[in-house]
């Protein structure tokens, strides 16, 4: 069995955060702080207009390194030009908030400040997080620049969210929230900007299903859908079009992911079968119930009326049905949450359900499985390959899975 260990290096990952002029600049503080806490080296560039909203001192304190401005750019105090040093230093460059002005400059290769010169002096991936008024964002010229810039493989864009803007307008143009930007950064540091799922459609199930006895009682499990969420994020960041079919969730759907909420196994089955024909890859990470109450009461049952023994009946075997319906070009991956020996039951499920691959993950290990932010697993495929994944974040595990499938 292969043991997939993270690539080790004495050098930390290096990220430049370039801050544009906009009220959303305050959100960047959380991104910088999160990166530093995760062990990433951070350098910050502020445009002149960004300093109207946030100070270099604030970002220097959070990054534990001086923050650079255009005043530094024009000072001959460095052994080499500052934009060259920064451009060669970075593994990833993030521009947040991206203004309409900076977007236009990047689209046409203009370089009149430290930020734009550093972009042109670098070869690393660039993550863009735009923010502006709705009317500005929806201008034909702005949208044309946005779409044109994203045709360059260097650039990765987080679309804007809708909500209350600083101008009191409710609409599109709101910058992505810091946790979403941070997650995208983690993905790009893993993939180095490669889009190996570009043009692919990935269908993912997530979370637990609920089988109700009456309007308030149900048979369920502790699944939160965090693993499915991580798979959706990783696939999206690798260029895929993602559809996420999920049970009850307390997390936000990533920008750019089509999410379809369901409750019961039957509802999940209907949606998965409906979306199956257009999918290139199907990942059943949901913890689907095995049985449901045979009888359902439309009104809450009094305690005295609860049955002493609960008649049960099986729910649809979704993954088995998907395996029967899938076409040769489609790839179907299952999950097996187990205690004790996780390999034997996973192998049985892999072959009996006619899956292409399966993820066996222990739910009896600390900080692993249901509700945890971390996981560990063994990947198995129908060609006999097995890869052990040591404890890591669920996002990291999702990327390891796509790396495994790509091979």
Contact 210, 225 (CB under 8 A): no
Give the pairing type, strands 41-46 and 211-214. unpaired
Supply φ then ψ for residue 112, to 5 degrees: -125, 10
Give the number of other CB atoms < 10 A from CB of residue 339. Answer: 11
Collect all residues with Cβ–Cβ distance below 8 Å to 171 and sequence separation of at least 6. 134, 162, 165
167 is catalytic: yes
DSSP symbols for 216-249: TEEE-----SHHHHHHHHHHHHTT-EEEEEESS-
Q: What's the CA gap between 99 and 143, in Å, rounded?
A: 12
Which residue among the candidates 29, 124, 167, 392 is catalytic per the annotation? 167
What would you report as the CA-atom Rg of the chain, rounded to the nearest whole angstrom? 24
What is the DSSP code (8-state) at residue 370?
T
**Cα 50 to Cα 145, 154, 389, distances in angstroms:** 21, 24, 42
Active-site annotation, residues = 167
């Amino acid at each position: 069995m292969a043991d997939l260990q993270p690539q080790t290096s004495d050098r930390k990952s290096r990220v430049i955060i370039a801050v544009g002029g906009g009220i959303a600049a305050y959100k960047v503080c959380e991104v910088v702080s999160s990166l530093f806490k995760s062990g990433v080296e951070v350098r910050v560039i502020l445009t002149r207009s960004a300093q109207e909203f946030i100070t270099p001192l604030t970002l220097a304190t959070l990054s534990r390194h001086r923050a650079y401005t255009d005043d530094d750019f024009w000072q001959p105090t460095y052994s080499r030009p500052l934009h060259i040093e920064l451009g060669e230093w970075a593994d990833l460059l993030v521009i947040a908030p991206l203004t309409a002005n900076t977007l236009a400059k990047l689209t046409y290769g203009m370089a009149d400040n430290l930020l734009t010169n550093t972009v042109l002096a670098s070869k690393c991936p660039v993550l863009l997080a735009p923010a502006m008024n709705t009317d500005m964002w929806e201008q034909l010229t702005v949208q044309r620049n946005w779409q044109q810039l994203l045709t360059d493989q260097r650039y990765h864009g987080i679309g804007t969210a809708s909500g209350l803007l600083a101008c009191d307008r409710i609409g599109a143009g709101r910058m992505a929230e810091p946790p979403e930007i941070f997650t995208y950064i983690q993905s790009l540091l893993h993939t180095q900007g490669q889009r190996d799922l570009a043009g692919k459609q990935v269908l993912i199930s997530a979370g637990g299903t609920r089988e109700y006895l009456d309007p308030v009682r149900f048979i369920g499990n502790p699944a939160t859908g965090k693993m499915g969420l991580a798979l959706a994020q990783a696939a999206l960041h690798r260029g895929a079009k993602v559809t996420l079919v999920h049970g009850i969730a307390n997390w936000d759907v990533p920008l750019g992911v089509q999410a379809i909420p369901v409750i019961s196994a039957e509802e999940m089955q209907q949606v998965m079968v409906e979306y199956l024909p257009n999918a290139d890859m199907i990942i059943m990470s949901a913890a689907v119930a095995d049985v449901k109450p045979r009888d359902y009461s439309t009104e809450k049952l009094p305690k005295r009326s609860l049955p002493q023994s609960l008649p049960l009946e099986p729910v649809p075997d979704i993954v088995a049905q998907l395996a029967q319906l899938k076409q040769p070009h489609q790839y179907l991956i299952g999950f097996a949450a187990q205690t004790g020996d996780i390999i034997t039951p996973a192998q049985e499920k892999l072959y009996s359900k006619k899956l292409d691959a399966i993820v066996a993950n222990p739910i009896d290990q600390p900080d692993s499985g249901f509700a945890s932010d971390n996981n560990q697993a063994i990947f198995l495929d129908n060609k006999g390959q097995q890869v052990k994944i040591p404890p890591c974040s669920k996002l990291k595990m999702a990327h390891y899975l796509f790396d495994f499938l790509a091979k």
